[in-house]
Amino acid sequence: MDLLLQLFVNGVINGSHYALLGIGFGLIFATTRIVHFAYGPIFTFAAYIAWWLSGAMGLPIWLGLLGAVAAAVTIGLLSYLALYRPLELNRAPPLVPLIASLGLYIVLENLTGVIFGSGVRVVDVDYGIFFVGPVFFTSIHVWQVGSFVILGLGLAAFLRYSRYGKAILAMTDDPDMARVIGIDTFRITLLVFAIGSLVSAVPATLILVKNGASTHMGFAAVFMGFVAVIVGGVGSLRGAAAGGFVVGLVESLGLWKIPTEWQASIAFIVLYLVIMLKPEGLFSMARR
Amino acid sequence: MSEAILETKGLAAGYGKKRAVFGVDLSLAKGEKLLILGHNGAGKTTLLRAIFGLIEPMAGSVMLEGRDITGRTPAANVADGVAFVPQGHGIFKSLTVRDNLELGAFAENDKGKLPERLETVHDLFPILKERASQVAGTFSGGQQQMLAIGMALMHGPRVLILDEPSIGLAPNLVERVMEAIATINEKLGASILMVEQNVQLSLPLADRVMVIKTGVTVYEGSPEPLRDHVELMKLF
Amino acid sequence: MEYLLHVGVMLCLYAILAASFNLLIGFAGLFALSQAAFYALGAYAAAIVTTQLGLPFPLPLIIAVVFTALMSALIALPALRVSGHYLVVISIAMQIIVLQVILNWKSLTGGTDGISGVPAYDLFGLKLDTPELFLPAAAIGALACLWFAFRLTRSPFGRALRAMRENEAAAQAVGKNVLYMKVTVFAISAGMAAVAGVLFARYFTYVGVDSFTIDETIYILAMVILGGAGNLWGSVVGAALLVIAPELLKFLPLPVDIADKMRLIAYGVVLMGVLLFRPQGLMPEPRGRKAMFVPVDAEREESDAETLFKGDKGTKGETVMEGRNLRKQFGGITAVDDFSIELKRGVITGLLGPNGAGKTTAFNLLTGFLRPTSGEIVLRGSPIGNAKPHELVGKGVARSFQDLRLFTRMTVIENVIVALPDQTGDRVLPLFLRPGKVKAEERANAARAMEILRFVELEAKAHDTAEDLSYAEEKLLVVARLLATGAEVLLFDEPMSGLDRNTLQEVFPVIRRLAENGKTICIIEHNLDVIKELCDVVWFLDEGHAMATGTPDELMNDPELAQRYFK
């Protein structure tokens, strides 16, 4: 029972991480229909910038986070402007941006390796360790859950109440109609690339503190984000967040019966089942 | 009638390499209701989308009150008093009626005018007030069309462009929508440019009619001769 | 020198991989990113059966290919349900699961250590264990695979694949079994990748998971895109460029680690650059006459296409197809409600009604694209049950689409050829076992297709690409494609809209003649003029059910309908 409780808490912690990635990736995907695989290496790059500022230069970690956010937003915007935008203007069929994003993916991933070198990079940050009854967690875990709550609620409020937030919802619903009512969809696209990239930098910095940064970690980041979006149902950020928690919990609780080395496969099996049995996602609202 | 508010000269447009509209001259007078008729694939929708800036015209020009607005973005057109109701219920299905109407005024900078306009829309379509918090996608086809027109009015347009507002609606609802369009024209003073396939129910509304066939104008003038079945047949 | 020969061996392996991947993404339009997993399965299967069972050539090759082809069903299965982004993400997931299984099943695969000591090929005591000796073996493998791929793509099966890529529903509507095609092309593509995998294992005498990561799939993808999707020569060229060019990096004084990363960066840059500046690749998919693989002179031969225009010999006016009390619900909306219709031999039946009346849904029900919620459809006296669209085409029921759905990037004549019935080369086994028969049929079909095109007066455009036709010509091609199916019951969804009066006058006699020949014809039409001139019987639909039926004159003089619709 104690084990199960611990696994549940671990699941919530990892679920928050996946949910954040799902929200960030999903915001870009739902609004622009671009499968932005380079979201993964941008996540990695942000973590390395945080390491460079906090680990190598010795600045406080919050400055590292700030640097990570700035880097992620810059590269996110550049990838749209330099790659996806020209493809859109060429009227490329929908899968072309996806293939191009795979190209950008390996460029950014290996560029990070060339700049920062391979091998794991860690920062030395003191953090607290807590026991609540039999359950163990650290202050970084608290931050992982907390950052999801703060960013999730903040984003929800932004979408719900601000003018630009509503424009994003409108474009997610129907991009053509968004243009009809006079929304500048180019600006909205830049906005979602900026927000989505910003969101990625936060879990990136926390993962750096928790496990250290390695050049290949971007793949898991973007893929789990994508999985969260599909499990939750494309087009709904609440769905993406819920999808992230489902994956986190199933993955963690699965350890109760499944050997550790298979943990990484659990999420993919969930994905396979969802796509085969309920391709519209578990939490999609019946809209049409 | 008075001077033209919206004009096209030799407008050609299409998708990719393919032209669907070949040099259409069109003139909408201030306060006029101009009806464009044509069969499926005649190029009506392409024409409207090119006028409104949703697709780049391949040739020719579009003028609003004498100013050249060819190829201007829809955002600029909306801000300048041109509104467009696209085919097939131009609404945001996942959002509430209230959000939809609010988004209709997205490009309006003077938010002070909105309560008044909202009232106008509510007067015209009371159901939009009664069901303000309902998700628009759950509306019936007719209600969605009313909402789409309501959204277009939130900007106080001088020119209202409608693409087949009758599509998929039962006849009594079509009549209701046509009445609303007539009211918008009379009370709000918007000039109307409307594309239709439903000849019977749209013809009574029109001040003037253009018939387009495979991208070119084949008839332009009074609706009167077209009320005769045989005349119409010849054109199609 | 040995180094150059090594590059040659790698070129052979990647030519196979790129060609196999191109079959899937370029020809069939199935965007599944798991090619490196198939490559891995082939390599591991060969390594395991040679090291653990000690089986001699050619058994490991055969086992590896068959095993990988069977495993491909894991990805073909989702590809039957989903496409686009979903297929991409699920295929990447499958690739990762395959690697995880290989990593974790240590007793069989050696886990991270991999499997070493795979025996090199042994040719009567001569061990093929140097690049020099292995290159001929690799070349033979590559040539065999490429020959197979070329034969496959330049065949009725390959043509059907491209048709499916262009429009899946339309491919079904001309009688193609999409399920068979998808499963088969996955199996073939995976089997070819497995050949490369076996060669890999034999050449390096070692297999390990690092050679088969997702980066490897992207690498092969870059070759296909650079060379040109839908062009097999392009894949060979793409493989050559991406195998040879990075070798030049070795002459730069870079640390090994950095050089390796620079190589991957180069692939990514190539991939993005090609998509931005030359999306069709260095060698684009052939167009027009160049796309034809049936000799053009065959098109001028005599043909028996006339038989396709003939219906059954049965009695005129006899009911051929019948819908009884059909009802179709989508969620809460009832699109068709208690709708019954009879289609009779030699009779042109019109379906009339306002937009949204349920006409197209009725067509979808009659042609197997939708299943009725209740009610039944009877063809020549027996219920069609759950027959799929392509099965109904085989039974003589074919339809056209309102939105045309031409195979846009194929030539006009290919659009017609692909629709011709009973093609032996549609199936892969007969294609390779009875090449003579397939070839003779192809020539005959080219001639038949040309005759059909002459019939609709499109013969001058036979070698144009379908997307370059005018709207009226597209409509004529739709008619030609439907005729080519040879079906007895022809359902036209708005064949006349958008045609001018002169063209209409040319199409009318065509359709009338078909009816006179004993075809059963049903037409959805808005244009009252067309209905009046063409139809013998009209069913008026509104809100999902038949409001009235009768001759065109009867209906148009019905006071209630006149009020409602005609005026």
Query: Contact B214/C564, CB-based, under 8 Å?
Result: no
**Nearest-Cα residue of chain C relative to residue A109:** C265
Strands B191-196 and B33-37: parallel
**Overall average pLDDT of the A24-42 stretch:** 95
What's residue B236's pLDDT? 52
Q: Any chain A CB within 8 A of the CB of C88?
A: yes
> Using a CB-CB distance cutoff of 8 angstroms, which residues of chain C are in contact with residue A276?
77-78, 81
In tens, the pLDDT along C370-418 reads 999 999 999 999 999 889 999 999 999 999 998 889 999 999 999 999 9
pLDDT for position B5:
92
> With helix as H, strand as E and coil as C, how does C237-285 read?
HHHHHHHHHHHHHCCCCCCHHHHHHHHHHHHHHHHHHHHHHCCCCCCCC
Contact A176 B155 (CB under 8 A): no
Give the confidence band of C502 by pLDDT, cuts at 50, 70, 90.
confident
Q: How far apart are CA B74 and CA B159, in angstroms?
A: 13
Picking from C177, C211, C245, the residue at the C-terminal end of a domain is: C211
CA distance A244 to chain C (A): 16
Mind listing the pLDDT tens digit for each residue in C245-264?
888 877 778 787 888 888 89
CA distance B235 to chain C (A): 9
Name the residue facing C497 among B18, B40, B168 (closest C-beta).
Answer: B40
Interface pTM, i.e. ipTM: 0.91
pLDDT, tens digit, 9 for 90 and up, residues A39-97: 999 999 999 999 999 988 989 999 999 999 999 999 999 999 999 999 999 888 888 99
Distance CA A21, CA A203 (A): 8
Mean pLDDT confidence for C157-170: 96
Q: Domain ends where: C158, C190, C211?
A: C211
For residue A166, name the pLDDT band (cuts at 50, 70, 90): very high
Average of per-residue pLDDT across C305-318:
80
CA angle B31, B37, B39 (to 5 degrees): 160
Q: Does B10 contact A at CB distance below 8 Å?
A: no
Mutate: best of B94, B160, B161, B163, partner A, most A CBs <10 A = B94
Per-residue model confidence (pLDDT) at position A288: 30
Percent of chain B topping pLDDT 90: 50
Does the beta-carbon distance from C78 to A271 stay under 8 Å? no
What is residue C25's DSSP assignment?
I
pLDDT of B230 over the 70 cut: no
- Chain B residues closer than 8 Å to C472 by CB: 214
Is C413:C299 a contact under the CB 8 Å cutoff? yes
Contact B113, B156 (CB under 8 A): yes
CB contact under 8 A, A183 and B90: no
Q: What does the mean pLDDT of chain C come to?
A: 90
Neighbours of chain C (3+ CB pairs under 8 A): A, B
C258: nearest Cα among A147, A271, A114: A114
Per the structure, the count of domains in chain C is 2
Same domain, C200 and C310: no
Last-in-domain residue among C196, C211, C226: C211
The pLDDT of residue A103 is 96
pLDDT value for B89: 72
Q: What is the DSSP string of C408-441?
A: TTSBHHHHHHTT-S--GGGSHHHHHH-HHHHHHH
Give which of A180, A184, A283 to mutate to test B binding, by max B Cβ within 10 Å.
A180
Q: What pLDDT does C390 receive? A: 95
Q: Mark yes or no for CB contact C528/B233 under 8 Å.
A: yes
CB contact A201 to C (< 8 Å) = no
What is the per-residue burial (b if ≥16 Cβ within 10 Å, else e) of C57-82? eeebbebbbebbbebbebbbbbbeeb
Q: Which helix (H) or strand (E) holds C379?
A: strand C374-379
C50: in domain = yes
More confident position, B21 or A88: A88
What does pTM read for this prediction?
0.91
Could you list the residue range(s) of the whole structural domain that residue C108 is in?
2-211
Cross-sheet strand order for the sheet of C520-524: C397-399, C489-493, C520-524, C348-352, C537-542, C545-550
User: What is the rounded average pLDDT of the residues C182-204?
Assistant: 97
Residue A137, pLDDT > 70, answer yes
The residue extents of the domains of chain A are: 20-218
Q: CB distance B93–A288 less than 8 Å?
A: yes
pLDDT at C567 over 60: no
Chains contacting chain A through 3 or more C-beta pairs under 8 A:
B, C
Q: Are strands C374-379 and C382-383 parallel, antiparallel or unpaired?
A: antiparallel
Residue C497 near chain B (CB below 8 Å): yes
Q: Do B92 and A170 make contact, defined as CB atoms within 8 angstroms?
A: yes
Tokens of C529: 């003029």
- Give the DSSP letter of residue C286: P
User: B79 CB near a chain A CB, below 8 Å?
Assistant: yes
Q: Quote the CA–CA distance of C221 and C243 in Å, as a whole number.
A: 13
SS3 C88: helix
Neighbours of C170 (CB within 10 A): 24
The pLDDT assigned to A286 comes to 41
pLDDT digits (tens, 9 = 90+) for B120-172: 999 999 999 999 999 998 888 888 999 999 999 998 899 999 998 888 777 77
Which residue, among C267, C178, C167, C255, has the nearest Cα to C214 in the 3D structure?
C267
Q: How confident is the model at residue B235 (pLDDT cuts 50, 70, 90)?
A: low
The answer to whether A182 and A17 are in contact (CB under 8 A) is: no
- Give yes or no for C24 touching A (CB within 8 A): no
Q: Which of A91, A170, A288 sits opposite B103 (nearest CB)?
A: A170
Contact C500 B40 (CB under 8 A): no
> Is a pLDDT exceeding 70 seen at residue B41?
no
C206 and C310 inside one domain: no
Exposed, middle or buried: residue C153 (CB in 10 Å: 0-12, 13-18, 19+)?
A: buried
Torsion sign (Cα): C519, C522, C525, C529: positive
| Chain B interface mutation, best of C497, C547, C556, highest count of B Cβ atoms under 10 Å | C497
For testing contact with chain C, the best of A99, A222, A230 (most C CBs within 10 A): A99
Mean pLDDT throughout C419-432? 93
Predicted confidence (pLDDT) per residue in B171-216, tens digit:
778 888 999 999 999 999 999 999 987 777 788 888 999 888 777 7
What does the pLDDT read at residue B233?
52
CA distance A170 to A188: 10
- DSSP code per residue over chain A: -HHHHHHHHHHHHHHHHHHHHHHHHHHHHHHH----TTHHHHHHHHHHHHIIIIIIS---HHHHHHHHHHHHHHHHHHHIIIIIHHHHHTT--THHHHHHHHHHHHHHHHHHHHHH-SS-B-------EEEETTEEEEHHHHHHHHHHHHHHHHHHHHHHHSHHHHHHHHHHH-HHHHHHTT--HHHHHHHHHHHHHHHHHHHHHHHHHHH-B-TTHHHHHHHHHHHHHHHH-TT-HHHHHHHHHHHHHHHHHHTTTS-GGGHHHHHHHHHHHHHHH-TT-SS-----
Nearest to C435 by CA among C134, C157, C71, C110: C157
Instruction: Compute the average pLDDT of residues A215-233.
Output: 92
Measured between CA atoms, the residue of chain C closest to residue A101 is: C272
- Judge: C279–A86 Cβ closer than 8 Å, yes or no: no
Distance of CA C182 to the CA centre of its chain: 8
Smallest CA-to-CA distance from A45 within A19, A78, A22 is with A78
What residues form DSSP beta bridges with B43? none
| Radius of gyration of chain A from its Cα atoms, rounded to whole angstroms | 19
How close, in Å, is residue A267 to chain C by CA atoms?
A: 9
Q: Which CATH number do you get for residue C376?
A: 3.40.50.300
Q: Which of C355, C528, C541, C553 best probes binding to B when mutated, by most B CB atoms within 10 angstroms?
A: C355
Identity of the residue numbered A121: R
Query: Is the per-residue pLDDT at A189 higher than 60?
Result: yes
The answer to whether B94 contacts A169, with C-beta atoms less than 8 Å apart, is: yes
Q: What does the alpha-carbon distance between residue C92 and residue C111 come to, in Å, rounded to a whole number?
A: 21
The residue among C39 and B21 whose pLDDT is bigger is C39
Residue C404, sorted as left (phi over 0), alpha (psi -120 to 50) or beta, turns out to be left
User: Out of 3.40.50.300, 3.20.20.100, 3.40.50.1110, 1.10.10.1150, which CATH number does the structure's domain B72-235 have?
Assistant: 3.40.50.300
pLDDT on residue B24: 87
